[in-house]
Amino acid sequence: MRIYRGESISKSYGEKVLFQGINFSIGEKERIGLIGINGTGKSTLLKIIAQKEEADSGRFEHPKDYKITLLDQQPIFNNDATILEQVLSIDDEINKLIHQYEKTLIELNNCPNDRNIQDRLFHLQAKMDQRNAWERNAKVKSILTKLGLHDFNQKISHLSGGQKKRVALAQVLIQEVDLLILDEPTNHLDYELIQWLQEELQTYKGSVLFVTHDRYFLDQTANKIFELTSGKLYEYPGNYQAYLEAKATRELVEAKQFEKQKSLYKKELEWIRRGAKARTTKQKARIQRFEQLEENLSNQIQKETLEISLSSKRLGKQVIEMKNGYKKYDSKKILEDFNLIVQQNDRIGIVGQNGSGKSTFLNIIAGKETLDHGMITIGQTVKMAYYRQQTEDIVDKKRVIEYLKETSEVIKTIDGTMISASQMLERFLFPSYMHGVPIYKLSGGEKKRLYLLKLLMEQPNVLLLDEPTNDLDTETLTVLEDYLDQFSGVVITVSHDRYFLDKVCDQLLIFSGDGKIEKYYGSYTDYLNTNTKKEKKVNKEEKAIPAQQEKKKKKKLSFKEQKEWEEIHDRIALLEKEIEQLQDEITKEVTNYEKLQQLMKEADEKNKQLEELIERWTYLAEIMEQQ
């Protein structure tokens, strides 16, 4: 068995202890998701395991020829290299051979009659045959193509940040190692690429250890979870769903212990207040126990996550309206005669391929960019906050609490309660000991969380979010999702995160490129399922029960149920057609507020009827299958 073990591993940076004496093991073909709040040391632990950084103490056990590769969040590139050269840059004999072969092939294309190049290519082809390098060569090109990188000879310096991340991903995926370590591999990947990567990792020959904010990806890929929290590492068998259930059980046990500690603490506090003289060894030991209890309770209280439902300025009837919006960059159309009415409480998700204009669209709404033609109107009561990937306004020398107090020292919640900036920090997973820390000491993810909290404390009623799930941990995302669930204003978000979109949004704008934008009312998963069915052209007869099976019935439906079964398919089809017609009308009716609200209400009612009808169909189908 090729097992990797870490024993009593510790790491600190100055006064900050990331983890202390943790133990873990990575077995063969395990798919391990590492989760924890930003700043707990996830990336550091990955680097230590990959031998890119040293632990302060502890030891590792693994076979001598155990191979590890790491996809870092900030990969190092040779900007003068081509994509293919970068991917093949790992010091490996087969990679060197493929690189020589591909380079010689380009030379021959430029000088097809050069006998020296022809002879060199022939010699390299023989070596490729001998070393069985053709398989890897094909694999490299296949992975690059699937990642949307078709020009293998394009220079790294000409690529976008997202394209570079995909090159780095290809570079680690082609390697045959015992342990593949991935730090946020789904960043900059759209739905199709995330789905492809998910399938690649499920069939990967070695073990995989990864950090991701994509909870659907985590749930579908992991068969084991490591949770790094408060300097400790917990192991859970199973996927993300199993982890949530197991963690809930663990926290229930800890809560019971916490209540016992509180009771004991009260007794000890009464004893201390009576002024007992600490002259005997027994009394000194009791005081030490009191101090330990006090510290444990303080740590436990800091772990509690409270609601962050803040009040905001009331929105008027007019929020955002765009008429005949047109935007173009060079020859690339972003918007073409686009119309949109944003209403109170709308939750709009923006999805589409990278480069299709999603962030530009948010910039136009936020007033950072202007339309070439058309008109955009922002309501007078709108108070907008815009979360962007760049956190330009953070001054690293400032302390955490000082930065937050620039917005407000005290804010009001929905129920009228006044809470301080310090309390808000704790509610957003910044324990009290971090409030006086200079911002430059925070991790990248912690800075993003602080920046997001400052925007929320401005108490906006329209919130624009550009890829908020990138670089935020799963716990922070859960806090954000809970906040948005209580938020009384409008949310417009660009995201590739299916889980986040499903929880937050009930309508979508799908950017297809060249100015084409589709409107969809429903969840992202529903849209993906609908789209998949359209692409695959699923046969409508799949759900029909074959006549031969009907003859094998052991038990008949009642007369009423039989009649219902015979009619239910047509009823479902009719409802689906009516909903489709309503969605078409909603898309066209962009200027009449009252008509639009009426149509959307009717569509909601029809969708509820359809859900009930499908549930009834499922019930009848189960009876049919048992017969």
> What pLDDT, on the 0 to 100 scale, is given for residue 465?
95
Between residues 225 and 291, the one the model is more confident about: 225
Q: Which strand (E) or helix (H) includes residue 619?
A: helix 593-626
Between residues 197 and 1, the one the model is more confident about: 197
The string over 119-136, giving b where at least 16 C-beta atoms fall within 10 Å of a residue's C-beta and e elsewhere, is ebbeebeeebeeeebeeb
> What pLDDT, on the 0 to 100 scale, is given for residue 34?
97
Query: Which sign, positive or negative, has the C-alpha torsion 79, 80, 83, 84?
Result: negative
> What pLDDT, on the 0 to 100 scale, is given for residue 243?
87
* In contact, 51 and 263? CB cutoff 8 Å: no
Find how far residue 490's CA is from the centre of its chain.
21
Q: Which strand (E) or helix (H) includes residue 254?
A: helix 240-273
Instruction: Assign 110 a pLDDT band (cuts: 50, 70, 90).
Output: confident
* Residue with token string 């890929």: 221
Region of poorest pLDDT, from 86-95, 231-240, 494-503: 86-95
Q: Which strand (E) or helix (H) includes residue 620?
A: helix 593-626
Pairing of strands 68-71, 418-420: unpaired
Instruction: Assign 303 a pLDDT band (cuts: 50, 70, 90).
Output: very low
The string over 382-413, giving b where at least 16 C-beta atoms fall within 10 Å of a residue's C-beta and e elsewhere, is bebbbbbeeeeebeeeeebbebbbebeeebee
Q: Averaging pLDDT over each range in 308-322, 375-389, 415-429, 587-601, which range is the top one?
A: 375-389
Distance CA 355, CA 332 (A): 10
Count of CB atoms situated within 10 Å of the CB of 341: 18
What is the mean predicted confidence (pLDDT) over 562-577? 80
- Find the distance separating the first CA and the last CA of the chain, reported in whole Å: 48
Distance CA 109, CA 117 (A): 10
* CA neighbor of 513 nearest in space, from 350, 322, 354: 354
DSSP 529-577: HHHHHHHHT--GGGGSPPHHHHHT-SSPPPHHHHHHHHHHHHHHHHHHH
Distance CA 535, CA 576 (A): 18
pLDDT at 308 over 60: no
pTM of the model: 0.72
Residue-wise pLDDT for 43-102, tens only, equals 999 999 999 999 999 999 999 999 999 999 888 899 999 999 899 888 778 888 988 888
Distance CA 290, CA 279 (A): 16
Instruction: Assign 159 a pLDDT band (cuts: 50, 70, 90).
Output: confident
pLDDT at 262 over 70: no
Give me the count of residues in the chain: 627
Q: Which long-range contacts (CB under 8 A, 24 or more apart) does 141-148 make?
A: 143/170, 143/173, 143/174, 144/83, 144/84, 144/87, 144/170, 146/193, 146/196, 147/193, 148/193
What is the mean predicted confidence (pLDDT) over 238-253? 81
Distance CA 307, CA 482 (A): 7
pLDDT at 293 over 60: no
> What pLDDT, on the 0 to 100 scale, is given for residue 383?
94
pLDDT at 549 over 60: no
> What pLDDT, on the 0 to 100 scale, is given for residue 4?
96
Q: What is the mean pLDDT of the chain?
A: 83
* Strand residue runs (E) in 452-559: 462-466, 490-494, 507-513, 516-521
Region of poorest pLDDT, from 261-265, 535-539, 570-574: 535-539
User: 603: which 2 tokens?
Assistant: 């569509």
Alpha-helical (H) ranges within 42-133 are 42-49, 83-87, 93-110, 115-131
User: 65: which 2 tokens?
Assistant: 């020829």
Region of poorest pLDDT, from 120-134, 497-511, 561-575: 561-575
Distance CA 392, CA 379 (A): 27
Residue-wise pLDDT for 370-396, tens only, equals 999 999 999 999 999 999 877 666 777
Pairing of strands 320-329, 332-342: antiparallel
Between residues 305 and 472, the one the model is more confident about: 472
SS (H, E, C) 592-607: CHHHHHHHHHHHHHHH
Residue-wise pLDDT for 172-203, tens only, equals 999 889 999 999 998 878 888 899 999 999 99
Distance CA 547, CA 319 (A): 56
Distance CA 264, CA 297 (A): 11
Instruction: Please give the domain boundaries of the chain with CATH numbers for all domains.
Output: 1-67+177-238 (3.40.50.300), 84-160 (no CATH), 243-300 (no CATH), 322-527 (3.40.50.300), 541-626 (1.10.287)
Please list, in sequence order, all residues whose beta carbon lies within 8 angstroms of the beta carbon of residue 371, skipping any fewer than 6 positions away.
322, 325, 326, 327, 335, 364
Instruction: Assign 254 a pLDDT band (cuts: 50, 70, 90).
Output: low
> What pLDDT, on the 0 to 100 scale, is given for residue 111?
87
* CA neighbor of 385 nearest in space, from 313, 439, 333, 461: 461
Between residues 378 and 431, the one the model is more confident about: 378
What is the mean predicted confidence (pLDDT) over 404-415? 82
Region of poorest pLDDT, from 147-161, 363-377, 526-540: 526-540
pLDDT at 237 over 60: yes
Sheet holding 232-237, edge to edge: 68-71, 179-183, 207-211, 31-35, 224-229, 232-237
Residue-wise pLDDT for 440-474, tens only, equals 888 888 888 899 889 888 889 999 999 888 878 88
> What pLDDT, on the 0 to 100 scale, is given for residue 509?
96
Instruction: Assign 594 a pLDDT band (cuts: 50, 70, 90).
Output: low
pLDDT at 113 over 80: yes
| pLDDT > 90 fraction of the chain, expressed in percent and rounded | 37
Count of CB atoms situated within 10 Å of the CB of 452: 21
Q: In DSSP terms, which residues pair with 207 in a beta bridge?
A: 179
Instruction: Assign 167 a pLDDT band (cuts: 50, 70, 90).
Output: very high
- Three-state secondary-structure class, residue 340: strand
Residue-wise pLDDT for 11-53, tens only, equals 998 778 899 999 999 999 999 999 998 888 999 999 999 999 9
> What pLDDT, on the 0 to 100 scale, is given for residue 545?
43
* CA neighbor of 121 nearest in space, from 107, 139, 141, 137: 107
> What pLDDT, on the 0 to 100 scale, is given for residue 339?
94
Q: Averaging pLDDT over each range in 332-346, 427-441, 590-604, which range is the top one?
A: 332-346
What is the DSSP-derived secondary structure letter of residue 458? T
Between residues 378 and 559, the one the model is more confident about: 378
> What pLDDT, on the 0 to 100 scale, is given for residue 511?
93
* CA neighbor of 188 nearest in space, from 206, 172, 165: 165
Distance CA 352, CA 332 (A): 15
